[in-house]
């Protein structure tokens, strides 16, 4: 799976989980069945989000997992390559 595809799936499931949580809280009146199903949907979305973070978010060049700050990184913290193009990061060289 491509890194960008996994990143978009994580964002989508995270947003869907948050929306389901808020909707479950708003519909919680006297044991409403809708709030139960929305709560279960939220749990399912968050589990799928965690699955794609662990299984899908790997650097396409070195193969290492990127878990911390995975939604905002542009460059792999291990091999210092751009996650979409694969070009080496240009920067200062240490003395």
pLDDT in tens, the chain (95 residues): 888 898 999 999 999 999 999 999 998 888 789 999 999 999 999 999 999 888 888 888 888 988 888 888 888 888 888 888 878 877 655 44
Predicted local confidence at residue 94, as pLDDT: 47
The pLDDT assigned to 95 comes to 44
Question: Residue 22: what pLDDT?
Answer: 94
pLDDT at 91: 65
The pLDDT value recorded for residue 3 is: 85
Q: Please spell the DSSP secondary structure of the chain, one letter per residue.
A: --HHHHHHHHHHHHHHHHHHHHHHHHT-SSS-HHHHHHHHHHHHHHHHHHHHHHHH-B-TTT--B--TTTTT-SB-TTT-BBTTT-PBPP-PPP-
How confident is the model at residue 38, as a pLDDT? 93
pTM: 0.79
């Amino acid at each position: 799976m491509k890194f960008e595809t996994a990143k978009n799936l994580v964002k989508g499931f995270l947003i869907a989980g948050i929306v389901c949580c808020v909707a479950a809280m708003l519909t919680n009146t006297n044991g409403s069945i809708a709030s139960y199903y929305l709560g279960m949907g939220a749990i399912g979305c968050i589990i799928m989000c965690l699955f794609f973070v662990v299984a899908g978010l790997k650097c396409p060049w070195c193969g290492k997992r990127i878990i911390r700050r995975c939604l905002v990184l542009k460059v792999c913290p291990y091999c210092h390559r751009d996650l979409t193009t694969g070009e080496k990061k240009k920067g200062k060289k240490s003395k």
